[in-house]
């Protein structure tokens, strides 16, 4: 009987010991940091300035993000000495200090003289190019250039985009 009781108590104690160690737990905390939302505001609109066209050859004007403009390779456009207003589009990007962000540029924009004559802009480029880094104060200037496609004998006039083009920024 002593052996049976000893075996019974040993089995129960072993079962309780195994049972109590079969489940353990630990704890953790959850945290989150809400950062400053990224923002973009326009400083300056893009302006290709004064453009002279050929009667028979189409051409193009390339506006760099640095604000310099050149003619395309076809020879259908010249840039007069009286330039008019020449500027790339310029934006102020703001957000969380030292964070990086991606830049999405438009595909095309159509500008019109309001009388049914149009030109298209495409080949958008920017500085910084595909991504930027906000300064220690959380800001950066983003400049955007493009190529303006001019038809042969393009009608004279002031051309403006009916719909503004969009530049999008998003944290990486």
Tens of pLDDT, residue by residue over 65-74, are: 999 999 987 7
Cis geometry, peptide bond prior to residue 128 (ω within 30 degrees of 0): yes
- Residue 143: inside a domain: yes
- Residue 120: inside a domain: yes
For residues 64 and 147, give the distance between their C-alpha atoms in angstroms, rounded to a whole number.
9
- Residue 15: inside a domain: no
Is 2's pLDDT higher than 90?
A: no
- Residue 21: inside a domain: no
Full residue range of the structural domain in which residue 143 is found: 39-171
Among 157, 150, 152, smallest CA distance to 55 is for 152
132-147 tens-digit pLDDT: 999 999 999 999 999 9
pTM: 0.83
- Residue 25: inside a domain: no
- Residue 33: inside a domain: no
12-68 tens-digit pLDDT: 555 555 555 689 999 999 999 999 999 999 999 999 999 999 989 999 999 999 999
- Residue 13: inside a domain: no
Which CATH number do you get for residue 133?
A: 2.60.40
């Amino acid at each position: 009987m002593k052996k049976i009781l000893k075996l019974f108590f040993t089995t129960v104690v072993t079962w309780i010991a195994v049972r109590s160690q079969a489940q353990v737990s630990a704890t953790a905390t959850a945290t989150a940091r809400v950062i400053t939302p990224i923002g973009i505001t326009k400083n300056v609109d893009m302006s290709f300035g004064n453009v002279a066209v050929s009667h028979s050859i189409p051409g193009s004007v390339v506006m760099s993000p640095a604000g310099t403009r050149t003619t395309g390779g076809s020879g259908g456009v010249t840039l007069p000495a009286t330039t008019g207003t020449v500027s790339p589009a310029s934006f102020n990007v703001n957000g969380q200090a030292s964070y990086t962000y991606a830049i999405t540029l438009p595909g095309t924009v159509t500008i019109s003289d309001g009388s049914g004559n149009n030109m298209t802009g495409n080949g958008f480029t920017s500085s910084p190019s595909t991504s930027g880094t906000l300064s220690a104060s959380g800001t950066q200037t983003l400049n955007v250039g493009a190529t303006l496609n001019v038809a042969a004998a393009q009608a004279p006039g002031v051309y403006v985009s009916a719909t503004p083009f969009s530049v999008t920024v998003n944290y990486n």
